Structure formats: structure tokens, C-alpha cells
Structure 1
């Protein structure tokens, strides 16, 4: 899967309509959060749309762009605005796995991740690592795909008597529980359905290939069966209407609280000095 993302670096921007839209909606959510970060990181940055959004919003923050696919990171300078290139305000690229980030403990004020975490079979190690690199009172904000993604294509599989091979995604309530288990506080989760439309099924397949995730998303099925499924999918559209491809988007954010225990497991007890009684 990682190799496919790397190979798709040149075609990614052409097809990343959904990622741009979810990134825009994530940025709108930041309007309602009081935050003045000194360090920001976009984890799973692809070609850099997210980190550029954070740089525009927080121009004084030090930006880091993290992705496992090196060819994606190599496109960051060319996609950056001219003023960033001239002023040498480019984000620092880091090629790394989200489950083993080469970032110091408590080094980031805001971590942003747009449509990446759902590709992990188990996101809990990633949540633990993101909690580690955040400062106390730092914010994690993310978007990921939910279980009703491509429900039309799943229904077409079932109508053909075929068990859908498409990737399964976590429910937002399970994601919220994982955040709490990782040590985050006050997680806020919400969901919405976004729909892309296509003239023919090939348009959906082409976009997922250009994004580098067709096999990871659609799974493995003999081509003869896929032809049956795609014919059924195409027939599901009303005459003269485009095909719908629904994507369930889970949005979440959570804060890193003050630690309650030391690394060796000992509990932290804080004493506060209160003012004594005032003489009258």
C-alpha cells in the first residue's frame, strides 16, 4: 500500500477532491477553537495541502510535514507558494511512520491528520504516538473514513451475491474510545456523508488509482466478478443521473491533558497553595 502511495505522487493532486474538501472543513472547525500554536505538524501530509493551510492560519508556528511516502514529500517545495520559497518558510519534511515519529516528546502544539489514519489496521499505536509528541494542552485534529464509505458499491456487491471486498472502517464511537485509551481528554467526534459523482464507474476507479489507494480501498476480487459488480453499480443510478459514491467522514479532535503518572507508573500528586484567611 505504501508503494502505491509513493507511485501516485505525480497524479495525487489531480484526484484529491475529497481530501481538499475535508481539509477545508477541518480548517473551518479551527475557527471555533482558541489556539495559538508554536509548532504544527501535518501527519500524512501527502503533497502538502494541509500544512499549507496551517501555515496560512498560524504563520508564526514552526511547521513540520510528515509522510511515509518520500515522493509525496518531494513535491512539497514545488507546491508551496512563491513567498514561502523565497522567504525559506517551507515546512520541514519528515519521512516517517506515524507509529514511530522522529519527533521529541511534547514538541508539537497542534497535530493535524487528514484522511490517513483509517489506512492503519489498528490506529491505537498511532494515537499513542501522537499523544506523546503533543505538548500538554496540545490539540490533535483529524478526519478519517467511516464504515458507510462507498455504501453504493457495497450494495452492488451484495446484489450480485458477492461478499464486499472493500476495506472496513471503524465506527466513530470506537475511535473516541481509542483516543481516551491513548490518554487524550475531551474527545469530540462527529460524522457527515460527502458524495462524489461520476458519469461511469471507471471514473471512481481512475480517481482511486491516481490517489494510490485503489487496491487498499476496494480490496481484491477477480475481474470477472468486478465486471458484474460494476454493471450492477452503474444500473443503480436513475436514468440520466450520475453515479453517486458516498464517503462517510469522521471528524475528531482531542486534547493532551496534564499527565497523571510518570513514565515508571508512579502517580503524580499536585499540591496547590491556597491563600490564608484575610485579617479584617
Structure 2
């Protein structure tokens, strides 16, 4: 299989750098082909702007999505963007690896997403009607590919627990996992998170790397997060609000993840009635 690692950490000798090198060795020993986009080493340009195309759609006003669409459709994107898009098309699985800085990915990685996820590639795809609202959230150009986050954080695991001060880790990572990855069609695996990084000594590193190796071994068999597909009947279109009978009385990110037991029974009942 082809694995693409998008990596963002400025220090090669960091814990992140060591885990990235471990992941590459582990995957290659297992027979996979690996490419790494080391964003700091590449001196990746983070800002999306008018310089991302060789020919402007409009010289009067920069409209990001229209310029992106024009450049993508006409082969006018800057070379660095086109190269990363080719890697995405090549990959069977994508790993985003980064330290959790201020509750999100580093700015350089956010800039990679903003520039590489062109209109027509990652969004703006498919019909918009009373029955469908584009190919996204479970559909899209990256459908059939898998994705996973490898994240490090200085906080304790309890800080990111259900009642932890930082909020549940699934909520903190929801905009990335559901928005950046599931939106354009990836099957998103549960994240691999390393907590309390300042306390990772040799013994702890051996434990962490072994656990990461096990996750990499099951990259193609681990069940993905059961996000609800947008066009599968769970959402009212075009309002794109969850049906009242699903997760009644609940709000927040968690309602967009299926409850396996309850919903399987509901779907069976609906099928029987049909």
C-alpha cells in the first residue's frame, strides 16, 4: 500500500521527529511504500493567496474559492500545490502527524490544507439539489482512502477526558477529523495520541513506539470512526440538520457519530417497514 505522511514539527530531534522516522521504517519493513511531506524541511508556504496561481481568474478582486477552481481546472496551480495533490492521489492512506499547538494543528499544516485542498479536488464536488448536497462527508475525491492523526500533546490524558478541562480529545480533534478528513471522503481512523510528552523517557518511548507500530499494522483493518454520511438519509437537505429522531435531545459534535447498536436496530426496523 502507499502511505503519505504529512508531518509538521520544526525540530528533527524532537519526539515527533523520532516517531515519524519510526513510522517510516515500520511501514517500509511491512512492505508498504511511504512518502513524507516534511513541511518545515520543505519550507512550505502556509498562506493561501494570489501567488498560488500563474494566471488570475480576476485581476480586480481575490476570491479564494473562485481562484482555486480556475487554477485547478486549468492546470495553473503553483508547482508545490500540484506536487502535493499528486501525492494525495497516489496515497492509499494519509497520516497527519503534528504536535497539538493551541488546540489545533500547527499553522504550517493548516496552510498545507488550505492550499492543497483545491476547489474541484477536496470541495465543490458533485450536484447540489433537494436530494444531495455535493459529494462530501462520506463521499468525495478521497473516498476509499484511509486517514489517521498522530498527535502529541503536553497535557495529561485526564485533561482531555470526558470532563477534563481541555475538553474531550474527540471534540478537540473533531474539526480536523470530521472537517479536514471526512469532508473530502476519507475513512477516518481513531487518532493515535501521545499525552504528557515532557515525561517521555526511554522506557516510555519504547512503549509509545510499540503502540504506534501496532496501530500502523492495522491501518487497513481498524474500523473507522462511524461519522454519519451526509447524503445517507440522516440529514434534512438542504438544511443539513440531523433528523429529529436521531440522537433525540442531544447536541454537539457527538451527534454526528452513529451509535452502533441503537442505529442498527433502527435501520433494521426501517428496512422491515419498507
Shared fold by TM > 0.5?
no
Which of structures 1 and 2 has the bigger CA Rg? 1
TM-score, structure 1 normalization: 0.32
Q: Which has the higher contact order (CA 8 A, sep 6+)?
A: 1
TM-score, structure 2 normalization: 0.33
